[in-house]
Amino acid sequence: MVRTRFAPSPTGSLHLGNVRTGLFAWAYARRHGGKFILRIEDTDLERSTEEAKLGILRDMAWLGLDYDEGPFYQMQRMARYKEVIRQWLAEGKAYHCYMSPDELDALRAGQMARGEKPRYDARWRPENIHKNGLIPPVDVKPVVRFKNPLDGSVGWDDAVKGRIEISNHELDDLIIARPDGTPTYNFCVVIDDFDMQITHVIRGDDHVNNTPRQINMFHALGAPLPVFAHTPTVLGQDGEKLSKRHGATSLEEYAEEGYLPGAMLNFLARLGWSHGDTEVFTKQELAQWFTLEGISPSPGRFNPDKLAWLNQEHIKRAEKNVLGEMLKPFVVTLGCDVSRGAPLADVADLYRERAVTLREMAESVLYFYRNIAPPAELLAQHITDANRPALQVLAQRLASVEWNKDGIHAAIKPLVAEFGLKMPQIMMPLRVALTGLTQTPAIDAVMTVLGREVSLRRLAHACAQR
């Protein structure tokens, strides 16, 4: 069975590149009827926070990335990590190293001065201790290092980048436990992926350099290798690594701005993955179509205009009642009682073609839920002695027409000829009187949703102003 995982660190808000790899892992598992696991890598005690952990769960729920197992927390697995470290020490696959940080810094400085690659020199390997004349100091707590193979090479067929092979000579002996016994990231990841039977490791290409050491640790476990798929970096439009200055904010901020989770998933998936030329698709379609072969090896570029366009497309395509429910908290936040007024689903349906975000939509529809008082200067400009009689007659006729768009339009249209007016001389003052605005959807459609009682009351009030 295919088993994938998303393993964020709770050291801050989820960034878009990280979420994208999680999305790819989710989609691959769903495509193959497998399992998707959430694992929170919280061993960085200084930077990890409970707030960030809760934020990960909140963002996953908002996106609709459901996981089958987890969340697992690495700090709750310490006993397992220490068990393997003890086993490897006993089997000679790891050893204690007493080199101090100052000694290591001096070693690296000398190597760089000679133009060499800075690397640990394996002086505390058991086979080197006697040769180097070393005696373990009693006042130093050692780290534990993994005995990386000295000969040969380590390689893998990356599902995105193709064949990658690195000489073991390029790899030094990695620290797998700190002086206080806390295991390190690269070691924990291997144990977790082995224990959780992960078959496909889908992650960002900033982890490519970690992979050779992790593969050697898989071999030390006697474990089969997962398939590795390293996704390309997400860049800003200027070609630099994506950051807030490119307009990329946290998922929570996008949610608060009124971006739809489906649009965000669509946008992230298209940052480096494609299904032919299809630009707009649902989460369900992504799960049906996703393949690792569809991931481009080239970096994706964050384009806020593309995100805005996709969000508008998803608003346009959303089911009416669902869109109304998504709009509700944005209208309520602006101080409106949505239980009194036009049905939100009808209001959202009316504005779906005109709004880029739900926040923008909410700000445009307040007149459905508030008593309005059109500015006096706007009323004076649009309701005059020339058209006031026509508006008063219209009010009388609207009292008895069938209240739908066709019925309302049929009442408005004859007034043009009857009073020698042009259509804008009726439509614009009607719009101002009912909404207090000069730009809205078609006013007969607005009136249908606003309702007869509210429409007639606002029109009568506006016509009475002098």
Hey, which bits of 68-191 come out as E strands? 69-73, 94-97, 143-146, 153-158, 162-167, 175-177
Q: Given this model, what pLDDT does residue 169 score? A: 92
Q: Averaged over 377-400, what is the pLDDT?
A: 95
Distance from C-alpha of 154 to C-alpha of 225, rounded to nearest angstrom: 12
Residues 6+ apart with CB under 8 A from 185: 41, 43, 44
| Domain segments of the chain as ranges | 3-70+185-233, 79-177, 319-365, 376-464
- Give me the pLDDT at residue 244, please: 66
pTM for the predicted model, two decimal places: 0.91
CA 166 to chain centre: 33
Topology given in CATH for the domain delimited by 79-177? Glutamyl-tRNA Synthetase; domain 3 (3.90.800)
For residue 23, give the nearest of 261, 303, 221, 316 by alpha carbon.
261
Looking at 117, 141, 241, 244, which residue is catalytic? 244
pLDDT of 14 reads: 84
Instruction: Determine the length of the chain.
Output: 466
**Architecture in CATH of 376-464:** Orthogonal Bundle (1.10)
Residue 325 clears pLDDT 90, i.e. is over it: yes
What is the pLDDT averaged over residues 306-321? 97
| Span 234-252, pLDDT tens digits | 888 888 887 767 667 789 9
Query: In a 3-state reduction of DSSP, which class is residue 195?
Result: helix
C-beta separation of 394 from 458 below 8 A:
no
What tens digit of pLDDT does each residue of 138-196 get? 888 999 999 999 999 999 999 999 999 999 999 999 999 999 999 999 999 999 999 99
DSSP SS3 for 231: strand
- In the structure encoding, which two tokens stand for residue 12, read together? 């801050």
List the CATH code of the domain at 319-365: 1.10.8
What is the mean predicted confidence (pLDDT) over 197-204?
97
Which of 458, 461, 462 minimizes the C-alpha distance to 446? 458
Catalytic (active site) residue 328? no
Q: How far apart are CA 378 and CA 428, in angstroms?
A: 10
The third-level CATH classification (topology) of the domain covering 3-70+185-233 is Rossmann fold (3.40.50)
Is 315 in a helix, a strand, or coil? Answer: helix
- Residues 218-237 have a mean pLDDT of 94
Q: What would the pLDDT profile of 94-128 be if each residue is shown by its tens digit?
A: 999 999 888 899 999 998 999 988 989 999 999 99
> Which residue in 47, 75, 46 sits closest to 183, CA to CA?
75
Residue 51: name the closest of 8, 17, 13 by CA: 13
